[in-house]
């Protein structure tokens, strides 16, 4: 069984190791999170940065630490040291539970030898009774998670709104229940920065399925419970695959191949400006006016005709 060596964060105020930059083109970013992190958080990748910022607004996350522990793993081939990306302390039914979290892109997770190495880590954590979890970009970037995390991080270290404003906000939500931010601003006579600051400090809750803006619904923690770590785990399309690896079980080959194939596809989603064609000038489902009809011949309209945003249509007719 592997041995676990953990530094006492309260005494050393630092991680188990100094973050080593393996890639000379990758920068190391740090961030302070008073009340949640015992020492400055260090991020080796953009994905780890978004993950830490997203976890900081989860209501059951009571502590976040980066690379606080080293696991010495011994296998038949070799011995190695493993540094988990995060150590989280979650509050579950009034008790704190510590979990180790590895942050990996899904495409890297399902590739060899990363998959084999993490399966070994998961086996050793099970042997020691340590809860081990994995988060991928498929879960962290699901829905509006990234956009909401980046927005609230800007207000994380801001000063709390005045007590009278917090009291007015609480009274409005207690009487009316969850309501849109704009309605809350009008009713409680507060500023938008007050609402965003309370959301970042977990004094208010939001829906993980909505982008935080003036139309988003907010509520008190006692009314909805707020965002939870389990909500992030359940997001994405490959939660079953990630959970299997974290439990030391190798997923089926077809599931791995599917994840590898889909990860190679572009992530761009359909939007207004990604649609082929132009904008409609009138109400939907109406007949075209004569001037909107496309001539059948390139010469019928007095020159080369265009089919609304597509390539020029050149006719063979003379």
Convert the pLDDT of each residue in 137-186 to its tens digit.
999 999 999 999 999 999 988 889 999 999 999 999 999 889 999 999 99
User: Which tokens is 44 given?
Assistant: 């080796």
Residue 124 has pLDDT above 70, yes or no: yes
Omega cis (within 30) before 285: no
What mean pLDDT is predicted for residues 111-139? Answer: 92
Higher per-residue confidence, 289 vs 188:
188
Q: What is the pLDDT of residue 318?
A: 43
What percent of the chain has a predicted confidence (pLDDT) above 70? 72
Question: What mean pLDDT is predicted for residues 45-72?
Answer: 90
> How sure is the predictor about 262, in pLDDT bands with cuts at 50, 70 and 90?
low
- What is the rounded distance in angstroms from the CA atom of residue 50 to the CA atom of residue 135? 11
- Residue scoring higher pLDDT (33 or 274): 33
In this predicted structure, what is the pLDDT of residue 225?
86
The arithmetic mean of pLDDT across residues 285-307, rounded, is 55
Residue 218's beta-bridge partner residues? 179, 206
Q: What are phi and psi of 95, to 5 degrees?
A: -115, 150
Q: Using the structure block, give the residue that is written with the tokens 């003036």.
A: 214
pLDDT at 165: 94
Residue 306: pLDDT band (50, 70, 90) is very low
In the predicted model, what is the mean pLDDT of residues 275-286?
51
> Which of these, 7, 18, 52, 46, lies nearest to 32 by C-alpha position?
52
**Whether the predicted pLDDT of 56 surpasses 90:** yes
Q: Distance between CA atoms of 55 and 5, rounded to whole angstroms?
A: 25
Higher pLDDT, 93 or 244: 244
| pLDDT given for residue 298 in this prediction | 46
Q: What is the mean pLDDT of residues 235-245?
A: 89
**Once rounded to an integer, what is the mean pLDDT over residues 254-282?**
58
Q: With cut-offs at 50, 70 and 90, classify the pLDDT of residue 255.
A: confident
- Four-point Cα dihedral 262, 266, 270, 275, nearest 10: -130
Reported for 161-170, long-range contacts at CB under 8 A and 24+ positions apart, including other chains, are 161/190, 161/193, 161/194, 161/197, 161/198, 165/190, 165/194, 166/194, 166/198, 166/203, 169/194, 169/195, 169/198, 169/204, 170/220
Residue 311 pLDDT level (bands cut at 50, 70, 90): very low
pLDDT reading at 6 higher than 70? no
CATH assignment, 3-142+235-263: 3.40.1350
pLDDT at 19: 54
Average predicted confidence (pLDDT) for the chain: 79
Record the tokens describing residue 183, joined without a space.
Answer: 């309605």
- The token pair at 2 is 């592997």
- Domain spans of the chain? 3-142+235-263, 157-227
* More confidently predicted of 123 and 276: 123
User: What pLDDT is stored for residue 274 in this prediction?
Assistant: 46
Decide if pLDDT at 313 tops 50. Answer: no
Is residue 251 scored above 90 in pLDDT?
Answer: no
Model pLDDT, residue 204 = 95
Q: For position 202, what pLDDT does the model report?
A: 94
Q: Which residues fall within 8 angstroms of residue 119, CB to CB, at 6 or more apart?
A: 245, 248, 249, 250
Q: Check residues 214 and 272 and name the one with the higher pLDDT.
A: 214
Q: What is 157-227's CATH number?
A: 1.10.10.10
Q: Which of 129-138, 143-152, 309-318 has the lowest mean pLDDT?
A: 309-318
The β-bridge relationship of strands 95-103 and 131-135 is parallel
pLDDT above 90 covers what percent of the chain?
47
């Amino acid at each position: 069984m592997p041995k676990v060596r953990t530094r006492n964060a309260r005494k050393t105020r630092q991680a188990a190791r100094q973050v080593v930059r393996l890639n000379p083109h990758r920068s190391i970013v740090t961030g302070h999170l008073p009340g949640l992190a015992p020492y400055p958080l260090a991020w080796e990748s953009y994905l780890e940065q978004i993950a830490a910022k997203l976890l900081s607004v989860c209501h059951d996350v009571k502590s976040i630490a980066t690379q606080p522990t080293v696991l010495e793993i011994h296998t038949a081939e070799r011995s190695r040291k493993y540094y988990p990306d995060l150590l989280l302390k979650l509050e579950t039914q009034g008790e704190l539970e510590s979990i180790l979290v590895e942050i990996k892109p899904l495409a890297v997770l399902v590739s060899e030898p990363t998959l084999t190495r993490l399966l070994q880590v998961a086996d050793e954590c099970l042997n020691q009774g340590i809860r081990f979890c994995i988060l991928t970009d498929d879960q962290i970037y699901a829905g509006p998670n990234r956009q909401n995390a980046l927005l609230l991080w800007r207000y994380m270290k801001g000063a709390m709104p005045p007590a009278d404003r917090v009291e007015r906000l609480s009274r409005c939500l207690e009487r009316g229940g969850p309501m849109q931010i704009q309605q809350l601003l009008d009713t409680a006579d507060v500023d938008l920065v007050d609402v965003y600051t309370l959301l970042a400090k977990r004094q208010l809750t939001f829906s993980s399925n909505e982008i935080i803006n003036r139309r988003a619904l907010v509520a008190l923690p006692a009314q909805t419970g707020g965002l939870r770590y389990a909500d992030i785990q359940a997001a994405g399309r490959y939660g079953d695959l990630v959970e299997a690896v974290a439990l030391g079980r190798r997923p089926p080959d077809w599931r791995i191949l599917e994840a590898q194939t889909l990860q190679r596809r572009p992530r761009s989603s359909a939007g207004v400006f990604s649609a082929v064609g132009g904008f409609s000038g009138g109400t939907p489902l109406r007949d075209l006016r004569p001037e909107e009809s496309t001539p059948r011949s390139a010469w019928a309209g007095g020159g080369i005709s265009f089919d609304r945003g597509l390539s020029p249509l050149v006719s063979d007719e003379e």
